[in-house]
């Protein structure tokens, strides 16, 4: 029997948040807590049953917490955990890539001067920028 290769970091991440609706729900929650109806409005086109599934999945992954605000009927406000907020950087990178791929998408811009933003890797220890050639994650190079 062949050995199964261990999961890569990317495979692990995609298993937790790797579909369109999940990422859009996370994006909608980056601005703060929202009720179900507000989330449905913010994530245009998502069916209520799909939103419910994605919120439950994000709760199981400890990326979202649901706090009750009404007992009858039971209603909740949803907010990101600290782990959920950590996805902001990944979403910005995806948005940056998407803006470069689509003519109609607007790139992320610096709110103070309006300049288009550029994502870069940074070494916290050395306090230096790192290019792709200097990165050592074998799964992505």
The CATH number given to 1-111 is: 1.10.10.10
- 45 CB neighbour count, 10 Å cutoff: 9
Give the start-to-end residue ranges of the domains of the chain. 1-111
pLDDT tens readout for residues 103-119: 888 888 899 999 988 77
Q: CA-CA distance, 49 to 113, in Å (whole number)?
A: 41
pTM assigned to the model: 0.77
**Residue 135's pLDDT band (boundaries 50, 70, 90)?**
low
Half-sphere exposure for 13 (CA within 13 Å, toward CB): 11
Asked if the model's pLDDT at residue 1 lies above 80, the reply is no
Asked if the model's pLDDT at residue 141 lies above 70, the reply is no
Q: CA-CA distance, 98 to 46, in Å (whole number)?
A: 20
Query: Could you tell me where the DSSP H helices lie in 18-110?
Result: 20-29, 36-42, 48-60, 82-85, 88-101
Q: Provide the phi-psi class of 32: left if phi over 0, else alpha when psi is between -120 and 50, else beta.
A: left
């Amino acid at each position: 029997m062949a050995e199964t290769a261990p999961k890569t970091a990317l495979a692990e991440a995609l298993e937790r948040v790797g579909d369109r609706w999940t990422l859009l729900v996370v994006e909608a929650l980056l601005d703060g807590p929202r009720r179900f109806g507000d989330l449905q409005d913010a994530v245009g086109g998502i069916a209520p049953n799909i939103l419910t599934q994605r919120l439950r999945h994000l709760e199981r992954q400890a990326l979202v917490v649901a706090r009750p605000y009404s007992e009858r009927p039971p209603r909740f406000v949803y907010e990101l955990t600290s782990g959920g907020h950590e996805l902001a950087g990944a979403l910005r990178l995806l948005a940056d890539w998407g803006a470069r791929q689509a003519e109609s998408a607007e790139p992320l811009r610096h709110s103070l001067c309006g300049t288009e933003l550029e994502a870069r890797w940074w070494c916290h220890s050395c306090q230096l920028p790192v290019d792709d050639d200097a990165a050592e994650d074998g799964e992505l190079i």
